Amino acid sequence: MKISKIFLSGILVCLCACNCTTDKPDNDQKEPENPTPEVPEVVAKDVAAYVTSADSRNQFKKTTFDFGKPGSMSPYQVTYDKTALAAEPVDGFGLAVTTSAAYNLLKMAPADRTAFLEETFSREKGAGMSLIRVAIGASDFCLADNYTWCDTPGLENFAVHSEDKDYLFPVLKEIYAINPDVKIIGSPWSCPQWMKCNMPGGNNWDVSKFNVPVTDETTYNSWTGGRLKPSCYDDYAEYFVKWIQTMEKEGFDIHGITMQNEPLNPGNSMSLVMPWQDQKEFVKVLGPAMDKAGLADVEILLFDHNFNYDGKEGQDNYPLNIYADPEAYKWADGSAWHNYGGSVTELNEIYKTHPEKKIYFTEASIGEWIGGWENRWDFNFLSNCLVPDFSTMFLGVLSRGGRGSVLWNLMLDDKRGPYSRHDGSCKTCYGGVTINSADYKTIVKNSHWFDCAHASVALKPGARRMEHKSFELPSGIELQMYLNPDNTVGVLICNNSSKNQDFVFASTKHTVKYNVPAKSIASLIWQE
């Protein structure tokens, strides 16, 4: 079945007959009427393919082509069965919208901004990204000083901070006008200061104290480090409730929240040490509070940190330790992960032990620390990051029960900002897109934008991984196939080899032939 039909209209050029003359016709002679020719019907091609290459020759390049003839053979023929589907549906992919990203977007001319946001979020005109992450309060990519939405003690003082109202909200409203199905995951970088107390022993970096219960609730007057006061669990739970309610009143769909960004990192510009022991107890308060407020459909995600648990002794198996508590298990919907340490293989045990709990990848960045970086504003990271990141943070996560991946910072400028002036903020990070601060018009898409675009264009929310069979694929080749809710087939291919790779995808109905360039990622989609 064809995906769609396009009717071609344009300028019709009429060709005159042979005996042309410059003489004017007699007054009683009528001009011959030119018959309107039939407009040919142009039928859209069966398959849409997108490819991006590490050498930058292809950048989300789209081609379309027809199904091949049935019975075509290939050394790497892939057969698939749309009735054999994984249990876990895909929720989506995208990038974080920080207030820094929002600031850069709002500096653009409205028409330019709309064009970029459509290219990124529109299902009809662009990649169709559908999952984003926002900070609950400030992050290390903000404009003003550090803040939460309740910096004066007492929840009666809860209010939207001006930075979010002035920058974040307008951009989110534009995104939702383009794609009303976008979902948000929210993460705090810190609780309000008045809810914080000292680390036991007073040293934020003393790993041995991470597992020690809090007994001294003396207020810790710093944005960096500290622990959540047990006496403030109820207030902090209500803080989350108020934040979700406020965001949803503004028209933003809060899909889930994490209880703390990087809970084992005490050195971020805003941070809170939240070992698994603290998170286990807090989720028992947060879950019932959200349920009472009618927010049971908002997912509560554990952890939100590195695959290697940031090397903190006693924190291994962070989410599994919490799931082991029956009451905490009841309220925890899943876990969230970053890749600044460890390997995606850590998810093997997480998924195997609790396949019923959701898994999301929620943060990764590119930056000057990556090998091969050049001191130019338009360096796009394709050569070093495109293929391995797609393999790890998308195919690797999805194959281990992942529901989606969100990468860090949709847009930063050519000075890698704006970023927080406080120690601990990342001053060498690049966004998914770099915008030139000289004109706020010139854009370079970096590897993370392309990674998210490829996953989003082929896999729609609700897609489920499809069983496929093939001969043994060569080294460096990965592929996954999905069935979307609209009965389209989406294919993700990662070619990390130095050779182009031919594929033939075959079902009882269709045959799809495609060649993936070396060191490239590709997305295919067709109507089944």
**DSSP states of 179-193:** -TT-EEEEE-S---G
3-state secondary structure of 201: coil
- Enumerate the domain spans of the chain: 47-86+464-527, 91-458
Q: 200 and 241 in contact (C-beta within 8 Å)?
A: no
3-state secondary structure of 242: helix
Q: What was the pLDDT predicted at 520?
A: 98
- Report the distance separating Cα 266 and Cα 162, nearest Å: 26
Q: What was the pLDDT predicted at 75?
A: 65
Q: 199 and 273 in contact (C-beta within 8 Å)?
A: yes
Q: What was the pLDDT predicted at 71?
A: 61
Give the total residue count for the chain. Answer: 528
Helices (H) and strands (E) in the chain, counts: 12, 26
Q: What was the pLDDT predicted at 274?
A: 98
Strand 402-407 to strand 92-95: parallel, antiparallel, or no bridges (unpaired)?
Answer: parallel
Q: What was the pLDDT predicted at 470?
A: 83
Helices (H), 197-269: 233-249
Residue owning tokens 């790890």: 392
3-state secondary structure of 348: helix
CATH number listed for the domain at residues 91-458: 3.20.20.80
Q: Does domain 47-86+464-527 have CATH number 3.40.640.10?
A: no
User: HEC profile for 356-395?
Assistant: CCEEEEEECCEECCCCCCCCCCCCCCHHHHHHHHHHHHHH
Residue owning tokens 């895909």: 90
3-state secondary structure of 513: strand
- Report the distance separating Cα 475 and Cα 497, nearest Å: 7
409-447: string of b/e by CB count within 10 Å (b at 16+)?
bbbbbbebbbbbebebbbeebbbbbbbebeebeebbbbb
pLDDT tens digit at each of 528 positions of the chain: 434 433 333 333 333 333 333 333 344 444 444 444 454 454 579 999 999 999 999 999 999 999 988 765 566 789 998 899 999 999 999 999 999 999 999 999 999 999 999 999 999 999 999 999 999 999 999 998 999 999 999 999 999 999 999 999 999 999 999 999 999 999 999 999 999 999 999 999 999 999 999 999 999 999 999 999 999 999 999 999 999 999 999 999 999 999 999 999 999 999 999 999 999 999 999 999 999 999 999 999 999 999 999 999 999 999 999 999 999 999 999 999 999 999 999 999 999 999 999 999 999 999 888 755 455 545 578 999 999 999 999 999 999 999 999 999 999 999 999 999 888 889 989 999 999 999 999 999 999 999 999 999 999 999 999 999 887 788 899 999 999 999 999 999 999 999 999 999 998 888 999 999 999 999 999 998
Contacts 24+ apart (CB under 8 A), 371-378: 377/414, 377/434, 377/436, 377/444, 378/434, 378/444
Q: What was the pLDDT predicted at 374?
A: 55
- Report the distance separating Cα 241 and Cα 238, nearest Å: 5
- pTM attached to this predicted model: 0.90
Q: What was the pLDDT predicted at 473?
A: 81
**Tokens linked to 425:** 């903020």
- What value does the CA radius of gyration of the chain take, rounded to a whole number of Å? 27
Q: What was the pLDDT predicted at 472?
A: 76
Domains 47-86+464-527 and 91-458 share a fold: no
Q: What was the pLDDT predicted at 370?
A: 78
C-alpha distances in Å from residue 370, one per residue of 77, 365, 373, 384, 415: 36, 10, 6, 8, 17
